[in-house]
Chains A and B, each alone.
Chain A
Amino acid sequence: MASGEKRVEIEKELSFGPVHPALIEPYRIRLFVNDEIVEDCELNINMAYRGIEKLFDGLPVERALLIAERVCGICSHVHAWNAVRVIEGGLKIEVPDRANYIRVITHEMQRIASHLILFGHAFEVVGHETFAMRSFLLRESFMDLISYVGGNRVMPSVPIVGGVRPRADLTESLKRVILERVDEFEEKYKAYVTRIIEDPLVMSRLTGIGFLTKEDAIKFHATGPTGRASGWDYDLRTKMDEYKPFDFNVVTDESCDTKARIVVRALEIFESLKIIRQAVKNLPDGPVVNRSWKPGEMDFTTALLETYRGELMHSYALDSQGKIRNYKIRTPTPTNLAAMEHACVGDHVTEAILTIASCDPCLTCCTRAEVVDSGKSFVLSDLEIVRKYGWRK
């Protein structure tokens, strides 16, 4: 222990999960507490291995896309989009503007649906069922719109290599429906947000807990709205070519607490609505897909995308037959884990769970292990972990 570092006595450990009514995914929260105050936290995510990266190996790109979309049920479009961005970047495939606009529209629709799921979950954790149910009710508008665009509420399968599926092209009547629904939604959503902000009991639960300073957010690699709620002005969308035609603000908050993480997401929804309106109104004419590409050898290529929870990385290579090799996915949640563990220190036990929920964890999207050994870090496959360490008993 470094001199001057505060020594903390831990009275006991409280552990929750992986089977627990409040945890929507199989993970384990270990809280080390004194009375009600959390002194340290450990999140153990290694509860569900799917081996999804291994499934990609040897598949042709277009078949692999279907698996990429199934990495996550909430951000399915993002994974499909980023999977095609890898090959589009690697093989320099031109994507028509109209296709990019439709991808952005679907992306922002799913961002709204994802943030509303977080509100539903967070208010369930806060114990406010009415706000939670209202959030899910509001979300239905965008689930419907996603299904109108892609044909499916959860797996719309909009992007393909070189553009979007022709069935996802926006007709004039669909454009009108989207704009009408967006207006209707905005009115209801404003009333919903106002009610939350004006509710003193809810605000008392959210304010002043789960502090994560900007320095800590950077130090612990917090990403997405979790980092932006600590005043870190970082949004990958500002650097993406696909987002250049659109005018939107990066929402940040300097409060650095649980309320800030909710507020940042709440305000991001308004920015998403702004982007959707611009994209629908200014949708360029032209084809929605460029089919003039051939799969071939591609070096290891990486694509980054700002998803609803933060930065998402997909990377893979193609062999000489155009088959996928070494697919790697890094979802935002593993990057946010350390920030979550740090943020809940000092909270009451009940608040710590809320703090973790406010970082919007999606833990089973991709569980991997990274072993740091003598300063070198390397990644082991699930099988290697089991062979080397065995299933812990």
Chain B
Amino acid sequence: MFMENVLFFIPGLIASSMVAAAIAVLYSLVLPGIERKVQARIQQRIGPPILTPGFWSVLKFGYKKPVEPNAQMPGLYRSLVYFGIGIVVLLFLFTTPYWWAVLGWGSILGIAGLLKLEEVLYVLMGSQSQSFLSAGMPVPDLAKGSKHVEKRREYVEQHSAERALKMMAIGSLPLYVALLVPFAMARSTMIRSVVAMQNPAYALSSEWWSAALPSNPVLFTFPGILAAIVYFVGYVMLLNEKPFSILKAKIDVIEGGVLEYASKLRACYYIMRNVLLFALSSIFVTLFIGIPFDPFMPAMMLLNMALSLLLPVMLSVLVAFSPILTFRQIYPAAIGLSAVGTLALIISLGV
């Protein structure tokens, strides 16, 4: 195989990364349109054209006149969104076959580490952004006779950053517990082993056109089903979507830390969010079904992309039927789901 030959490996890695990243970014721009269409149909609306919310809006914001964000350190604030894109693209690439052999990045550690970094970004964005929509509003509102004067006034984005910190501490726990289950079943920390356990045909196939189907997917085992449910809810939490969108609840913190991103920066933020949506879906297909995104095996790649629609569509249905939960509900939900994930983990270790 090419991957065993160093001379071919490095060009192969570069080529595979470029192809995978390009396809992932382009494909991810279609997903928001599908999400919005499903939600609209549930709400008896026509909804926007499929390409509008993802592709055309990114293009539109890319052509808008640049606006300097109101932030404590605008340079840092601007750079965070580029870091974000880098993190999510790397997260996705680490789950593609060429990267499985690079320094152990194609492992649970690579995935969990990058996801944690992604979560930290929201805390940093929130602490930086200072929109005029809250404490910075140029309206004199210190009413005469107010009981509370000279209290520290906080920007809504800073409050969102505090919420992001809480979500980091507990909200994302279910996803990480669920992620462990396929690795525990494979008795390995490497993605290669997880895929090989579920899809031995893929590990053995050498023809680029072949479509190796999994014979023993984790999803069809009892701990796998439990873990998949927990993964899905954790996925919603990590994407900050309803019902777990407390750190960007429109009714109080508006958009949270990303509020000040406008024009090109907003286009970049949309790319970051959409690639994360696709990356997490693709990781699910790779780890729970055993079909990796292999840029040099088109059939496998297309299968991965098609199955990656499953989670965004389920997400849209959930979003259409859910209110925003507050920490009163999020804490018990996260603890309960983590318990279910832990049960799945224990069962998977015993299997």
Contacts and interface: CB of A to CB of B under 8 A. Distances in A.
A22 B250 contact: yes
Contact of B135 (A15, A133, A349, A353): A15
B151 A10 contact: yes
Given A44-B143, A127-B251, A133 B243 contact: no
A32 interface: yes
Nearest to A209: B328
User: Dominant SS at the B interface?
Assistant: loop
B242 A12 contact: no
A375 to B, nearest CB: 15
Contacts of A18: 137, 139
B148 A389 contact: no
Interface string A1-38: 00000000011111111111110000010101001100
Which has the most chain A C-beta neighbours within 10 Å: B141, B162, B321? B141
Interface stretch (B152-160, B186-194, B340-348): B152-160
A21 B254 contact: yes
A42 B148 CA distance: 9
B151 A32 contact: yes
A207 to B, nearest CB: 10
Interface string A352-393: 011000000000000000000000000000000000010111
A354 B322 contact: no
A21 B250 contact: yes
B42 interface: yes
B212 interface: no
B125 to A, nearest CB: 18
A75 B120 CA distance: 48
Contacts of A204: 325, 328-329
Contact of A15 (B45, B147, B153, B245): B153
Interface in B239-275: 242-243, 245-246, 249-252, 254
A28 B153 CA distance: 14
A128 interface: yes
A44 B141 contact: yes
A44 B139 CA distance: 11
Contacts of B351: none
Given A10-B151, A391-B140, A128 B251 contact: no
B144 A389 contact: yes
Contact of B328 (A28, A125, A348): A348
Interface string B144-177: 1011100111101001001000000000000000
Nearest to B139: A18
How many A residues touch the partner, as a band?
35 or more
A201 B325 contact: yes
Nearest to B148: A32
B327 A348 contact: yes
Contacts of B146: 30, 42
Given A129-B43, A354-B251, A202 B323 contact: yes
A348 B328 CA distance: 8
B44 interface: yes
A14 B320 contact: no
Contact of B323 (A12, A201, A392): A201
A137 B44 CA distance: 10
A350 interface: yes
B101 interface: no
Contacts of B143: 42, 44
B324 interface: yes
A311 interface: no
Contacts of A42: 143, 146-148
B306 interface: no
A130 B321 CA distance: 7
Given A22-B252, A40-B148, A351 B141 contact: no
A393 B159 contact: no
Given A12-B153, A32-B151, A350 B326 contact: yes
Given A14-B159, A30-B141, A128 B152 contact: no
B147 A127 contact: no
B293 to A, nearest CB: 32
B323 A128 contact: yes
Interface string B33-74: 000000100111100000000000000000000000000000
A14 B134 contact: yes
A177 interface: no
B203 interface: no
Interface of A: 10-22, 28, 30, 32, 35-36, 40, 42, 44, 47, 123-130, 133-134, 137, 199, 201-202, 204-205, 348-351, 353-354, 389, 391-393
10 contacts: A12-B151, A19-B133, A123-B323, A127-B324, A128-B322, A129-B39, A205-B324, A350-B251, A351-B326, A353-B252
In the A-B complex, the 5 residue pairs with the closest CB atoms = A127-B324, A22-B251, A392-B140, A126-B323, A128-B323
Given A42-B147, A123-B323, A201-B322, 20 more contacts: A13-B135, A14-B156, A14-B159, A16-B133, A17-B137, A18-B137, A22-B254, A30-B141, A40-B147, A42-B146, A44-B143, A47-B139, A127-B322, A128-B321, A134-B44, A201-B323, A204-B329, A350-B324, A350-B326, A391-B140
